[in-house]
Each structure stands twice: as structure tokens, then as C-alpha cells.
Amino acid sequence: MANVRAAHVRRGSGSHEGLPPRPTCVILTGKRRSPQRVCRAKITITTMQFKFDWFIVLENLRRGIMVTDATLDPPAGPRILYVNRAWLKMTGYGREELSGKTPRILQGRHTDRALLRSLKVKLINREVFHGQTWNYRKNGEPFLMNWYCYAIYGERGKAIYYVAEQEDVTELNALRMRQRLLVNPQDEEAAAFFAVLKEWKAIRKAG
């Protein structure tokens, strides 16, 4: 996990893809600000852009962030390299438990396999994935994961990391699905949604 931090800090001094372009400005010199005294030398405002700790920002984002290596082949890939605090809170895992693990630890009975296949295809085709599926917290509780996933590319255009921005949208969806059931009590998708939550309640009660 320390590697990712180092990578972010290093990027601060480079001109990498994905970072905002370095703006340049024209400075005024001399006592009188006449047009003739405009210094034409352009300076780069590096310090203004990168003089903060990327790691602290990542750790305090409200959305879960997961970074993996850029391999997709099971069973080892994609290997989890970093998750932020919001991600740990959402899933119930501790950082020490994630060493050598893949995001598959979140999958279970109701995880949408077709969606995962489409994720793989998108990443291979260098596209951005967006989708929702049931995932499972460490204690087995299902939650609806909404996530974007994409590659971060190195200077030679090769994927070096996969990044996922993830959030639990179970409550939001429960509201939507409740409304749908009010309009149409036969709504199969809405019924299936609540069946998953009901199943978990029964498991908890039994255990």
C-alpha cells in the first residue's frame, strides 16, 4: 500500500497523463508596470498545484476508493494494492486482511456475473466501466455496490493500475424500489431487490 502513496507523490513533479495541465503565467517586473516591463519568461506554478498530501486527500474522500494492480487473470489478479478509509468502513474489512486479496472477496450468491464479464471486457478495451451489483460485507451482509472502474496509464500507454470509485447505494435504491412497488406491486426487479435483503435478515435471525 505504501507503493501507491509513493507513486502519487512522485507524480507531483512530473507531467503525467491524468493530472491537470501545468498552467503558466506572465510576471510583471520592475517598478512601473508598463507593458515594456512585462517579463516574457513563462514560469510554471508547480508548488501551487502539488503542495498537498495526495494520500490524506484519498483517505478522507467520502467515496470508497480501491486501487489494484493491472492484472485481471484469476486467481491472483487483480491484486488489491490500496483501499481508502471510506472503503474499509463500507465493507467492514481491515487493511491487514487485504494483503494478496482480490475484489472477489466481495462477491457472493447474488453478484451479477454478466456484469463482471462486461467489466473485464471494458477494461481490456481501455474503456470506463460503470455498474451496480450485490456485493457482501465481511459479515456477509449484502449491499448494492455502485462503481466506476478504469485504468491509470503509464507514460508508455500501458495500464499500470486499475482504480474503482465505489459507493453503497442500497438505501437509495430501497427508496426507489419501494416507490416502484407502490406503482406496480408486480414489479419483479423491485421484488427481487427486497428478497435479497429479506434473505439476509433471515440468516441473521437464524445465526
Ligand X SMILES: Cc1cc2nc3c(=O)[nH]c(=O)nc-3n(C[C@H](O)[C@H](O)[C@H](O)COP(=O)(O)O)c2cc1C
Per CB under 6 A, residues contacting ligand X are 66, 68, 72, 74, 78, 102-104, 106-107, 111, 116, 119-120, 133, 135, 145, 147, 149, 162-164, 166
Nearer to ligand X, 82 or 193 (CB): 82
Q: How far is the CB of 186 from ligand X (least distance, A)?
A: 29
State the cell numbers at 186: 408486480
Report the C-alpha gap between 8 and 60 in whole angstroms.
15
Report the C-alpha gap between 40 and 62 in whole angstroms.
43
Report the C-alpha gap between 196 and 145 in whole angstroms.
14
Nearer to ligand X, 84 or 166 (CB): 166
- Which residue number places its CB atom closest to ligand X? 103
For 118, phi and psi rounded to 5 degrees? -70, -30
Nearer to ligand X, 50 or 81 (CB): 81
Q: How far is the CB of 145 from ligand X (least distance, A)?
A: 5
Q: How far is the CB of 111 from ligand X (least distance, A)?
A: 5
Q: How far is the CB of 162 from ligand X (least distance, A)?
A: 4
State the cell numbers at 135: 456485493
The CA-atom distances, in angstroms, between 3 and each of 10, 42, 56, 81 are 11, 34, 15, 8
